[in-house]
Chains A and B, each alone.
Chain A
Amino acid sequence: AQSVTQLDSHVSVSEGTPVLLRCNYSSSYSPSLFWYVQHPNKGLQLLLKYTSAATLVKGINGFEAEFKKSETSFHLTKPSAHMSDAAEYFCVVTKLNNNDMRFGAGTRLTVKP
């Protein structure tokens, strides 16, 4: 079985400061990992994905994440938060040729002016 744990249910940062959203995964095989963002009353937008290529993955809107197998982590970072980054963020794990796609509990990011 595979699963992800998002370590923080809520993260609050000031505009212009760095963002760190933490995700640990559990998988008995090489996982594929994703970060999705969901703005209020909207659908899900893919931010970035890791699928066994480069361990440092760059996504949209200045976000990036690093896959660390030794720490079973896939944390999402951004150097400088913008007000428009305020949203819910989900870490997702799946496996190639396995239809099972599992979401973490989500982290709500608040950005203060």
Chain B
Amino acid sequence: DTEVTQTPKHLVMGMTNKKSLKCEQHMGHRAMYWYKQKAKKPPELMFVYSYEKLSINESVPSRFSPECPNSSLLNLHLHALQPEDSALYLCASLRLGSTEAFFGQGTRLTVV
């Protein structure tokens, strides 16, 4: 299994909603990432977890709250988002000791 699975594939939410994005991998990778990608832009790093601990937080607003409950699962909790948060959210995982990351297909989020 060399897949990173993201759910849902598409999400539309209002500015007062609370929702969560989910990312799962079963490759034993101990580093997991969240990226945000706006249209026609490169992915921007948001968070990195290493051994289930937050190791990088790129000054992301608190309305985005990451969580890594175990080594296979990474969540991104969303609350009180703004329309400008609409983007493709990509998850990636990496085996520590390697440099090759595996990406999920992304969740396309629209905030209305």
Contact = CB atoms under 8 A, between A and B. Distances in A.
B90 A101 contact: no
Contacts of B43: 44, 90, 103
B69 interface: no
Interface of A: 32, 34, 36, 41-44, 46, 49, 51, 88, 90, 94-97, 99-106, 108
Q: Is the interface of B mostly helix, strand, loop or mixed?
A: strand
Contacts of A88: 40
Contact of A99 (B40, B42, B56, B90): B56
B100 A34 contact: yes
B96 A97 contact: yes
Given A42-B105, A99-B50, A49 B100 contact: yes
Nearest to B108: A41
A101 B106 contact: no
